[in-house]
Structure 1
Amino acid sequence: MVSTVEEARLSTRRERTGWYFYDWANSAFQTSVITVFLGPYLTGIAESAAGCDGDACDDAVIHPLGIAIAPGALFPYTVSLSVLLTVFVLPVAGAIADRTPRKKELLALFAYLGAGSTIAMLFLTGDRYLLGAVLFLLANITYGASVVVYNSFLPQIADEEDRDRVSSFGWAWGYLGGGLLLLLNVAAVLAKDSLGLTTGEVARYSIVSAGLWWAGFTTIPMLALRNRPVADPEDLGARRANAVTDGFRQLWHTLKGLRAYPLTLFFLVAYLIYNDGIQTVISLAALYGTEELKLADSVLVPTILMVQFLAFAGALLMGRLARVYGAWKTILISLVLWTAVVVAAYFLPAGEAVPFLILGGGIGIVLGGSQALSRSLFSQLIPKGKEGEYFGIYEISDRGTSWLGPLAFGLAYDLTRSYRVAIVALLVFFVAGGITLAFVPIRRAIEQAGNTPPARL
C-alpha cells in the first residue's frame, strides 16, 4: 500500500505539463530582456542622463548612489551586483521552499514579483537609469529564486527513470517559448516605422512584453502544480512561523552538511567548471561575431533566434540519448561537442555569414541538452526533502560563478588583442569540466545521497 507521503509525491501528466510551462513563461525574461533588449536600452538611458552627444561619450559619467561611472558600464555593473546578491538569496530561497508546505505559493511570489518588476520598466524613460537598475536587480534576483523553487519540484513529479526526459522537456519548452516571444519582438523592430515607433520605444515595449508573457503563462503552473507535505512534518507550525529565519539557519547547515555528500560536491565542482564555459560562449558569441568576424546585426539576430529554436530540438534529442545511454554519458558527449564548437569558432572566416550560422546551429543542438541533463542528474544527487536548498546551491553554480569564463576571455584578449585567442581560451573549461565529471562515480554518488540509481547512467 502506498504511504501518504509517497502518494503525495505522485504526479499526473497535467501537473508535469504545468511544470513545463513555467520554463516557457520565464525564458522570455532571459531572451528578450537580458540577452537582447535591456542592455542597449538601459545604456541609452544612462547616456542620455550623462548628456552624451552622439558618439561623444568618452568622458561622460553618471553618478548612481554618488559613484561616478561611465554610462556604458551601468548594465554590466548591475548584472554583476545582481549575481553577487543571488549568491546569498538563492540558497535561502531553496531552504525556505523545503521548510514550507506551500511551495507553489512561494513560486508564485517570486515569479509575479519578477514579472511585475519587468512590466514596471514601462516607466523607464528619459534619464531614469537608476529606476531601470533597481527594477532589473529585483527582477533578476526573483527570477533566480523562482527557478530554484521550480527546479525543486522536479524530484517530486518524476521518478529516477523518467527524470531526464521530464527535465529535457522543460528546457525544450523554455527555449521554444523564449524564442517565440523574441521572434515577435524582432518582427516589431523590423516593422517599427510602419508602427510609428522609434527603436527605443520598441525595445521598451519588448521588455514589458516579456514581463506580461512571464506573468500570464505562470498562471498555468499555478493551476496545475500542487503542494506536498514537507519531508519532516514535525513541528510544522513552528516551521511556518519561522520559515525565513530557519531558511538562513538551514543554509548554514546545508553548507556544512555537504561534507557528508562529498560526491555531490564533486559533481558541483565539475558543473561549475563546464557550465561557466557554456554561459561564456552564449554571452560572448555576439561580441565575437561583431568584433572579430565583422558580421552585421542582420546576421547576429537571426542566429540568436535560430539557436533558441534548435535548442528546443536539441534538448529533446539529447533527452532521448540519455534514455538509451544515460544522462552522465550524454553530458560527457555534449562536452566533447562543445569542445568542437569552440575549436571551430577559432577557424571561422571573417565576413562570411554561413559558417557563423552553422556554428550557431551546433551551439543550439548541444545547448539545451547539456543544461537539461545536468539538472536532472543533479536531482539524483540530492537527499530527499532537501531539494530546494540543494538546488539553491546548484543555481549559484550557474549564476554566481559565471564571471570566471568572461574573466578568462577578457584576460586572453587583453594579453593578445585577439578575439580568436580569447575564444579558444575557453577550451580549458570544457576539457577540465569534462575530465572532472568523468571521474565522478555517479552510481555511488546517487546511492550516497540515499537515492536509487536509474538503470542507465
Structure 2
Amino acid sequence: MPTLADPDAYDIDDHPSSSSDDDDGLNLDDEPESGRREARTPRFPGEDRTPTTERELKGWYFAGLAAEVYAVCGVGSFAPVTLEQLAREAGVLRSDGVTPCIVPKGSTPAARYIVRSLFSRADESNQCVVYPFGHMVSSSSFALYTFSAAVFVQALVLISFSPVADYGTYRKRLLLTFAFTGASATMAMLLIFPSIYYIGSLLTIIAVVCLGSVFVLLNSFLPLLASNHPTVTAKSRSLPSHPGPSTSTSPALTLSTSISSRGVGLGYIAAVSVQILCILLLITLKRAHFLSESTPLRILLLLVGICWATMTLPAVLYLRNRPGPVLSIPHSRLPPFLQYLTFAWSSVYTTLLTALRLRQTILFLIAWFLLSDAIATVSGTAILFARTELHLSTIQVALLSITATVSGIAGAFAWPRISRAYALETKSTILACILLMEIIPLYGLLGFLPPIRALGFLGLQQPWEIYPLGVVHGFVMGGLSSYCRAFYGEIIPPGSEAAFYALYAITDKGSSAVGPAIVGVIVDRVGSIRPAFGFLAVLILLPLPIVWRIDVKRGREEAVALSKLRVPVDVSVRLDEMNGSAAEGLLGGRREGA
C-alpha cells in the first residue's frame, strides 16, 4: 500500500492556504496529542467522534481500491467480453438458427473453414444470436442487457439496505458482506460453461449489485471521515457560526474532495496493476490451447475475484465501525427481516420527500441521473464498438481498459492541481469534465460525414482511434468520480449520509439501466452501434445547464437548516414513528461547524 502522499498536492481549496499550515496535513498519529483530540458536538448519544487517523483512512482506501479492481478489470473489461464470448460459443447464426457461431477446436479443418466463412458474412447481416428465456438477442448485446438488469436490481437492493446502514453497527458489516459476496460471485465464473451461459449472467448481476453497494457504503463513510478529521474540527471551531457570502467551500468539502481524489487515484493504480497481470496471464493461457476460448477469460475473472477479496481484508482491521443511532424495532408479528425491509423503504420514501424540499440537492440528482447514464453507456458502448465493429481482440480490449485507467490515475491527481491553478470551484470542475466528455460521441459521429468516411480514418474508422478517446474518457472520469460525490456530500442533510448516498446511487444505477439497454436495442435492430453516438451526444449535454444552476453554498445552508428543524435525535428510532415527516435518526442530527 503506498504511503499517503503530501496532501497539499491534492488540496483543491478554492482559497489556497499557506503550505506551512500544519492543519492541512492528513498524516495523523494513531494517538493524537490531547489538544487535537477535542471532538465536535455529538449528533446523538454514543456517537463515535474519535478523530480520523491515517490508519482508518488506509482501511477506507483499501476497501475502495479492492472494489475498483473489479470495476475496472471486471465490469470495465473482462466481464462483458466473457459474457459475449460465452453467448457466442452457445449461439447460432441468425440466418438459419442452426449453424453454431463457433465450431469447437476439435472439429475438422473443413468444418471450421465453412463455419468461419458463414460467420464472416454474418457479421453484416446474420448476427450470432442466443435465445435466453425464448427471446432472441445478439451475443454482442447480451452483455449490455445483463448490465442493464444488474443496475436495475442494484437500485432495488440499495433501497432495501442503505437507510438501515445509518443505524447501529451495520455500515461496516454491510460493506464487508457485499465485498466478499461480490468477490465470491466473480470467482464462481470459473465454473460457467457455454451451455449454462445464462448462469454467468446471474453471477455477473450479483457481483455488479455488490460492487455498487460497496461504493455506496464507502461514500457514506466519506463525510464521517472528513467531519471527524482533526483539521476539520479545528477549522470549524475557528470559523464564525454564519459564514459570509465569500465562503463557498467548507473545510469538510475541501478535505473530503482531497480524500476522494486520492482514493480514486489509488484505486486506479491497483486496478491497472491487476490489469497488467491479467494481460500477462492471458498471453500465457493462450498458449495452452484450451478447447473453449472463454476458459482463459473465466480464469482471469477468478484472479480478479481473489484480488477483490484479499485487498478488502485491511478494511476489516483498519476501518472503524462509525455506528449511527440505535435502531429499535417495535414488537410486530412480521419477521425481523420484513420489519427492517419496511423500515428501509419507508426511510427512502422519507428521504425522497426530504430531498424534494432541497432545491439544490434535487437539481444535482436530476443532473446526475442524466450524466451517470451517459457515463455508463459510453463505457459499455466503447467496449461493444471496439469488439464488434473495430474487431479488437481480448488483449486489445484489455489494453484499451489500461489506457483509460492510466489516464484516470492522471486525472484523479491532476484535476485538483488544475482546479487550484485556475481557481476553479468544484462545480466549475464538473462542468469542465462534462464538456471534455462530449468529445467522445462527437468524434464517433464524424464517421457519418462522407468526406471523413472517404479518408478511411478519423471518426472511429480505424482501431487505433479508440485509444486516444480512452485517454479522454479516463482523464474525465478521474475528475468526475471524486468531485461529484464530494460535491453531493456537501448539500445533503448531516446525519443521513447512507440514506442520501443511497439516493445518489439509486439515481446513478437507475439511470444506468436505461442507456445500455437502448444501445442493445440499437444493435439488435439497426445492426450498427454508431447511431448511438448521437444519443450520447445529447445525453451528455443535458445536465450541463442544470449543474450550472446549482448553488453549493445555498444548498449546504438549506440542508443544515432542514436538519436543525427536526427534533434532536433520540437513542432509538421506531418504525411506527415513520410518518409524513423525516425519521429522527435520519435528519435529527446536527454537525458542528457545518
1:397–1:194 CA distance, 2 compared to 1 (3 A): same
Q: What is the one-letter code of the residue matched to 1:377?
A: F
The CA RMSD over aligned residues, in Å, is: 3.4
- Is 1:114 the counterpart of 2:182 in the alignment? yes
- What does residue 11 of structure 2 align with? none
Answer whether contact 2:168 2:326 (CA < 8 A) is retained: no
1:160–1:71 CA distance, 2 compared to 1 (3 A): closer
Q: Is the 8 A contact 2:443 2:459 kept in 1?
A: no
Instruction: Tell me, yes or no, if structure 1 residue 279 matches structure 2 residue 379.
Output: no
Task: Name the structure 2 match of 1:326.
Answer: 425
Q: How far did 1:60 drift? A: 8.3
Residue 485 of structure 2 corresponds to 375
Q: Aligned match of 2:256 in 163, 177, 181?
A: 163
C-alpha displacement of 1:346: 3.7
Change (3 A) 1:195 1:364: same
State the partner residue of 1:137: 205
Structure 1: gaps (5+ residues)? none
The SS at the match of 2:512 is coil
Instruction: Output the amino acid matched with 1:317.
Output: A
Task: Give me the whole-angstrom Cα distance separating, in 1, the residues matched to 2:212 and 2:305.
Answer: 15
Distance 1:136 1:298 in 2: 21
Matches within 5 A, 1:167-316: 167-195=260-288, 197=290, 199-230=293-324, 232-233=325-326, 235=328, 243-289=340-386, 299-316=396-413
SS of residue in 2 equivalent to 1:153: helix
Does the 8 Å CA contact 1:92/1:389 hold for their aligned counterparts?
Answer: no
Unaligned 5+ segments in structure 2 are: 1-37, 93-99, 103-114, 120-125, 227-251, 447-457, 562-589
**Is residue 145–residue 517 contact of structure 2 (8 Å, CA) maintained in 1?**
no
Amino acid at match of 2:414: L
Measured in 1, the distance between the counterparts of 2:530 and 2:85 equals 29
1:387 aligns with 2:497: yes
CA offset at residue 24 of structure 1? 1.2
Q: Distance in 2 between matches of 1:39 and 1:385?
A: 38
Could you tell me whether the CA contact under 8 Å between 1:124 and 1:132 is conserved in 2? yes
Give 1:12's aligned amino acid.
T
2:165 maps to which of 97, 105, 127:
97
Cα drift, residue 352 of structure 1: 4.4
Q: CA deviation at 1:164?
A: 0.8
Matching residue of 1:79: 147
- Residue 421 of structure 1 and its aligned partner are, at CA, apart by 5.1
The structural deviation recorded for 1:113 is 1.1
- Structure-to-structure mapping, 1:15-34, within 5 angstroms: 15-34=56-75
Instruction: Count matched residues.
Output: 452
In the TM superposition, what is the alpha-carbon distance from 1:287 to its structure 2 partner? 3.5
Superposition TM-score, scaled by structure 2 size: 0.68
Identify if the C-alpha distance between structure 1 residues 439 and 433 changes in structure 2 by more than 3 Å, giving closer, same or farther: same
- Cα 1:319–1:222 change in 2 (3 A) is farther
Alpha-carbon shift at residue 134 of structure 1 (Å): 2.5
| 3-state SS of paired residue (1:10) | coil
1:36 paired residue among 53, 77, 95: 77
CA 135–409 in structure 1, closer or farther in 2 if over 3 Å, else same:
closer
CA deviations over 1:243-292 (Å, ceiling 9, x no partner): 44422221221122222223211111011112222222222123444566
Instruction: Specify the code of the residue in structure 2 equivalent to 1:10.
Output: P
- 1:325 counterpart letter in structure 2: L
Three-state SS of the structure 2 residue aligned to 1:450 is helix
CA distance in 1, matches of 2:491, 2:156: 22
How far did 1:136 drift?
A: 1.9
CA contact (8 A) 1:314 1:365 kept: yes
Residue range with higher mean Cα deviation, 263-272 or 251-260: 251-260
Q: 1:133 to 1:236 in 2, by over 3 A?
A: same
Tell me the equivalent position of 2:236: none
1:327 corresponds to which letter in structure 2? Answer: T
Larger radius of gyration: 2
Judge conservation of contact 1:409–1:423 (CA < 8 Å) in 2. no
Partners of 2:412 and 2:277 in 1: CA distance:
22
Q: Is the 8 A contact 2:87 2:194 kept in 1?
A: no
Partner Cα distance (1:292, 1:432) in 2:
28
Deviation, structure 1 residue 21: 1.6
- Tell me which moved more, 140-149 or 72-81: 72-81
* Counterpart secondary structure, 2:195: coil
Contact persistence 1:273–1:430 (CA under 8 A): yes
Query: CA deviation digits over 1:166-188, x for unaligned, max 9?
Result: 11111112222222212211222
Mark the CA change 1:176 to 1:45 in structure 2 (over 3 Å): closer, same or farther. Answer: same
Change (3 A) 1:156 1:40: same
Which of 407, 420, 442 does residue 343 from structure 1 map onto?
A: 442
How many Å apart are 1:46 and its aligned residue?
4.2
Give the structure 1 partner of residue 539 of structure 2.
Answer: 429
Change (3 A) 1:237 1:197: farther
**Which residue of 1 is the match for residue 231 of structure 2?**
none
Higher alpha-carbon deviation: 272-281 or 69-78: 69-78
Given the superposition, is the C-alpha separation of residues 22 and 397 from structure 1 closer, same or farther in structure 2, using an over 3 Å criterion?
A: same
Q: What SS is found at the alignment partner of 1:127?
A: helix
8 Å Cα contact 1:172/1:315 also seen in 2 = yes
Q: Cα offset for 1:356?
A: 3.4
Q: CA deviation at 1:295?
A: 6.0
Structure with bigger helix share is 1
Does the 8 A contact of 1:15 with 1:224 survive in 2?
yes
Aligned partner letter, 1:20? Y
**For residues 143-167 of structure 1, what are the alpha-carbon distances to aligned partners after superposition, in whole Å with 9 as ceiling and x for unaligned?**
2222211111010111332011111
CA deviation vs aligned residue, 1:1-24 (integer Å, no higher than 9, x gap): 534567626311121122112221
TM-score, normalised with respect to structure 1: 0.87
- Identify the residue that residue 360 of structure 1 maps to in structure 2: 470
Farther-moved stretch of structure 1 (92-101 vs 33-42): 33-42
Contact 1:413 1:422 in 2 (8 A): no
- 2:431 and 2:127 mapped to 1: Cα distance? 48
The residue type paired with residue 434 of structure 2 is L
